[in-house]
Chains A and B, each alone.
Chain A
């Protein structure tokens, strides 16, 4: 390998046979290039979908009541179910060991909020402090609703970024008062939500205030719950699924709903969705891998074809070399050394090109489905090694055969 003469010999052949070298190199480099770009896009799609799920806490269980669809214990179908504070309190009490973040909410879908001359109609949610995490909101100014607000039924309000833009424009809203349903609320914070504009056109107040001041009494609209983290994704999905089922059973029993009536109590288990999406993503990734591997195989076949042609083309030269005293192993070595060298260099060139492409073009891709396409460098590097190995293997057999033909036959080759 470190035989300087061998290297000289190889550089000489490469220099004198540019087209051949270029073709071998091209097939390898493009194979690697396509594979890495595909893997990058696959990863990007995965990232994109993951980001979609980042909108809410990823292990969120979300409950909203509906209308009964079945007759049960003498009660007619079509009954609207109303969740109460009691439901929420009982759930917390009985599952305190399992639950992590929780909030019940009371919302008014459209309520007029005004500041000075500006006013707009927004969705209003009465919430507990955990709601911030459950909805994955972040604050751009001030603070979120806190326990004190809830306990003392404070007239505090956190407004969405869209609301701030509509009502306050450039003005700092913190500490200012806005009017909501004829009551003055003090703005304590401004939030943004990864869900975007629609989610930011909302205002949030303490649930106690919402129930008391806005006529909610002890009604609640929705439940938001997360479970304590598990060791792994599978366990989390299992726990979350089991809990959702128990929760449904509990609520149906409390509200005298037929056990198989799924319309009356809706439970959305984000993890289960996530699992399905991740499953889909894994399929897509597998597909990309499949395509990539096929590309590599095509590359290897290309390399072996070129190696066959090279050996064929050099048969006479091999005959001459043998007549001059070249040993079979030195012939095999010469051909393999060249092929490994060329595939390795070409492989790295393909790798560098594709990684550069992902590095520079990647962040510029702004679609919903592809986000930050990257590729694991080790994986890419291994692919190059595999290709080089395959190229060497592909070159070995023709080289071996060539080294074994009788010199007289090789010399006769035209």
Chain B
């Protein structure tokens, strides 16, 4: 599903450049649930953003579902993001003036579906994350866990190949974190590929594979026996 080799990324800050990713080689097969760990500043988000085509690598190759991602125009990148990828952010990134339902429906708008179809599909995903009753509520009327579940429903709405989650539980308490992870595990059980960036070991243990990043390179890449989140709720 994902193949990257020799990926480099530097940030230029005034006179000095900060070499963040120093040659990442890594691949993810279909249906994997991978966590990316590492200390703060190790480049986890940078990697995830490049995978999500929100940012571009300086060097190296990236193939997503057989498509080489290189020098994309804004338009193409937008199209691929919409078709291949779903994002889940630490800070939820819901649009504040749109209801939960409308937030979930937004990727479908950019896919060009009719309004009624958008609403139907958005509603079914809200049901899936257990928030059908909250469809008409604005994000600021929802709890952190609820917001993140709306965000997950939105990420799923466009039926992407890969879900990219950057610290999805970073802003949530333990109980809510586990509920969210339970949902992510469920989605993965259905066969969807998911990458989760996290700081927390317990969260990482709930995935199937842990990739450890340090100073811009992968220092460890191990399969783990998955801990089911619902057992800990």
Contact = CB atoms under 8 A, between A and B. Distances in A.
Contacts of B55: 406, 408
Interface stretch (B18-26, B105-113, B125-133, B215-223): B105-113
A9 B78 CA distance: 19
A327 interface: yes
A389 to B, nearest CB: 26
B74 A324 contact: no
Interface string B46-81: 000100101100000000000000000011001101
Given A12-B102, A316-B93, A408-B49, A324 B110 contact: yes
Interface string A9-49: 10011001100000000000000000000000000000000
A231 interface: no
A325 interface: yes
A316 B96 CA distance: 11
A143 interface: no
Given A5-B109, A316-B93, A322 B49 contact: no
Nearest to B157: A324
Interface in A317-332: 317, 319-330
Given A5-B115, A320-B93, A411 B54 contact: yes
B54 A17 contact: no
Contact of B74 (A9, A404, A408): A404
B95 A325 contact: no
B79 A327 contact: yes
Contact of A327 (B78, B87, B107, B158): B78
Interface residues of B, number: 27
A148 interface: no
Contacts of A317: 95
Nearest to B80: A325
Contact of A411 (B93, B98, B109, B111): B93
A325 B93 contact: no
Contacts of B158: 324-325
Contact of A325 (B98, B102, B111, B115): B111
B78 A12 contact: no
A13 B93 CA distance: 17
A4 B116 CA distance: 12
Interface string B85-125: 00101000111011000100011011100010000000000
B54 A326 contact: no
Contacts of B188: none
A8 interface: yes
B102 A406 contact: no
Contacts of B93: 316, 319-320, 323, 411
Contacts of A9: 109
A299 interface: no
Contacts of B74: 327-328, 403-404
Contacts of A330: 110
A327 B107 CA distance: 11
Interface in A391-414: 403-404, 406-408, 411
A324 B75 contact: no
B98 A12 contact: yes
B154 interface: yes
B98 A326 contact: no
A106 B171 CA distance: 104
B110 A326 contact: yes
Contacts of A12: 97-98, 102
Nearest to B55: A408
Contact of A323 (B75, B87, B115): B87
Contacts of A406: 54-55
Nearest to B164: A323
Given A16-B97, A404-B74, A408-B54, A325 B89 contact: no
B78 A326 contact: yes
Contacts of A322: 78, 81
Contacts of A411: 54, 89, 93
Contacts of B110: 321, 324-327, 330
Contacts of A329: 75
A392 to B, nearest CB: 22
B97 A13 contact: yes
B79 A323 contact: no
B205 interface: no
Given A16-B97, A17-B97, A407-B54, A328 B75 contact: yes
A183 B150 CA distance: 107
Contact of B107 (A8, A13, A316, A324): A324
B83 interface: yes
Nearest to B91: A411
A403 B115 CA distance: 24
Contact of A8 (B82, B83, B115): B115
B82 A325 contact: yes
B82 A324 contact: yes
26 contacts: A4-B115, A5-B115, A8-B115, A12-B98, A12-B102, A13-B97, A16-B97, A316-B93, A319-B93, A320-B93, A320-B95, A321-B110, A323-B81, A323-B87, A324-B81, A325-B82, A325-B83, A326-B78, A327-B74, A327-B78, A327-B79, A329-B75, A330-B110, A408-B49, A408-B54, A408-B55
Interface of A: 4-5, 8-9, 12-13, 16-17, 316-317, 319-330, 403-404, 406-408, 411
Q: Which 9 A-B pairs have the closest CB atoms?
A: A325-B82, A16-B97, A325-B110, A408-B54, A327-B78, A408-B55, A324-B107, A407-B54, A328-B74
Given A406-B54, A407-B54, A408-B54, 17 more contacts: A8-B115, A17-B97, A316-B93, A317-B95, A319-B93, A321-B106, A322-B78, A323-B81, A324-B82, A324-B106, A324-B107, A324-B154, A327-B74, A327-B79, A327-B110, A411-B54, A411-B93
